[in-house]
Amino acid sequence: MTKHDFDFDDAMSVSEFFKSKGLKKGNRSFMIKTCHSEEGEAFQALGLANGDKTDDGRNAMTFFVLSRNLEDKGEVLDKAFIKEHKEDLMLLEPVDDLKFGIAFLAGGTEDWDDL
């Protein structure tokens, strides 16, 4: 598996992402898109408006996928997941020319003694 240079010091909330792109309320759009891996496997990606426009005038999006840890726990990136975790969803923007950044949850600590 290829390692990429994600810097967790650069993680930001969805609100911080929109603010960093200069997007005010009313322009903060999102979408959930079904994508396919090179092997043909379907997966969901969260697209967030990034302040740019496509050639045809639509909002350009930066896309994020769930962290492997969340996927392994059986979490599904859908509207219900986003609504449930709206306050603790954190993002790492794509690096190393990747198409997707990473979405993960802040907090989520567990009791050390339960290990």
Q: Are the beta carbons of 62 and 103 closer than 8 angstroms?
A: no
How far is residue 43's CA from residue 65's CA, in Å, rounded to a whole number?
8
**113 pLDDT exceeds 80?**
no
How far is residue 42's CA from residue 34's CA, in Å, rounded to a whole number?
6
Confidence (pLDDT) at 1: 45
> According to DSSP H, which parts of 21-67 are helical?
none
**54 pLDDT exceeds 60?**
yes
pTM: 0.85
